[in-house]
A and B are shown apart, each in its own frame.
Chain A
Amino acid sequence: MRYIMIAVMLSLCGYASAHQWTPTYPELELSYVEGILKVRMELFNSRSDVKYYEILVYNESFEPMKFATQERIVEVGYLKRKNIEIFIREQDRYRVTYICSKSKLLKGTGTATLVSSRICSKIK
């Protein structure tokens, strides 16, 4: 039993994985559709335990806002980068505040405690 615990501890010591979402302060740009603005974000996944990320858009009070993107749940392989375009209605331009990406954890994977990461950028 002691050896199993030591093996688990050793395997955890070398474990490190990260989630990156940039830029910190993205700017809304004109899109090719009238009345729709877009924002470009980049997601970098170096979490080997996570393959999917959810895109979320909030107002200042962290209430969900309407938006469109190619996929709301994005598949990003380990050590891969993905550029994501998020489309927002022009009427919401002063209400949209945070653009976030959140790691999605698959059921039945990992150990006893899982860590879900969410990074939010703020519209300039």
Chain B
Amino acid sequence: MFKKSLAIAAAIIGMNAAAEEVTITGTVASKCVITTDTVGIYGNPTPSELSTAPADGGVLPIVRYDVLQANFYKARITYPESFSESPVLTDVVTWTGDVTVAEVTDAGMSAYDTSKVEFNNVTEVDLTIAGSTWFQVESTADYGVTKAFPAGTYRAVVSADCIAL
């Protein structure tokens, strides 16, 4: 008798479980996602130069910006003007750099290279098209007047900002 009741109860629970529904909800809202696609590496083509250019044995850092809706954000990328970590340097380091569009998900985004605003070591781009844009950052450091960089580890920081308009 008890076994039968147990079987009926189990069957009822089983039927209820089969009738359950799981809801998945999602919201699409404007947002900006900054992704570090590739961290850069300095090549050392001459004793006095460190460069992320592939021709100099370096690797270009690449940052990806994903925007879900157009005209909501601007990208501001700053190439380094100092080392965050280095051996003691007794002479002046001259910094140069450039930020360019590497890849796009929409053909119209290639116009970012012409519409970008550059000042000092900063590049600003209004993200006027929804989708992903990959920006590559070139950075070169020249030490003194063709002076050799002391041996050691050198690190520099690229700043990637996404600012709501």
| A interface residues (Cβ-Cβ under 8 A, vs B) | 8-9, 12-13, 15-25, 47, 49, 98, 105, 107-108, 110-122
Q: B158, A20: Cβ atoms under 8 Å?
A: no
Closest residue of B by beta carbon distance from A107: B85
**When the two chains form their complex, are residues B162 and A118 in contact, meaning their CB atoms are under 8 A apart?**
yes
Which residue of B is nearest A17, CB measured? Answer: B36
Q: B residues within 8 A CB of A15?
A: 36-39
Other contacts beyond A8-B41, A112-B153: 8, CB < 8 A = A15-B37, A16-B35, A22-B29, A23-B31, A24-B32, A114-B155, A115-B61, A120-B161
Q: How far apart are A14's CB and chain B's nearest CB, in angstroms?
A: 10
User: How many pairs of A and B residues are in contact by the CB < 8 Å rule?
Assistant: 124
Closest Cβ of chain B to A70, distance in Å, is 23
Q: What is the CA–CA distance of A8 and B42 in the complex, to the nearest angstrom?
A: 12
Chain B interface residues toward A at CB < 8 A:
29-42, 52, 59, 61, 63-64, 66, 72-73, 80, 84-85, 137, 139, 153-165
If A12-B59, A113-B80 touch, whether A118 touches B39 (CB-CB below 8 Å) is no
Residues of B within 8 A of A18 (CB): 33-36, 66
Tell me, in angstroms, the Cα distance from A116 to B66 when the chains sit together: 16
B contacts with A: majority SS? strand
Contact partner, B160, options A13, A23, A118, A122, Cβ 8 Å: A118
In the complex, are the beta carbons of B30 and A16 less than 8 A apart? no
Complex CA distance for A115 and B38, rounded to whole angstroms:
9
Pick from B33, B59, B163: contact of A9, CB under 8 Å: B59
Q: Are B84 and A107 in contact (CB under 8 A)?
A: yes
A111 close to B40 (CB less than 8 A): yes
The answer, among A20, A113, A119, for a CB contact under 8 Å with B156, is A113
Closest-CB distance, B99 to chain A (whole angstroms): 12
- Contact B33–A115 (Cβ < 8 Å): no
Question: Which listed residue, B42, B66, B72, B164, touches A112 by the CB 8 Å rule?
Answer: B42
19 pairs of residues in contact across A and B, judged by CB atoms under 8 Å: A16-B36, A17-B35, A18-B33, A18-B34, A23-B31, A25-B30, A49-B39, A98-B164, A111-B40, A113-B41, A113-B156, A114-B158, A115-B39, A115-B63, A115-B157, A117-B63, A117-B160, A117-B162, A118-B159
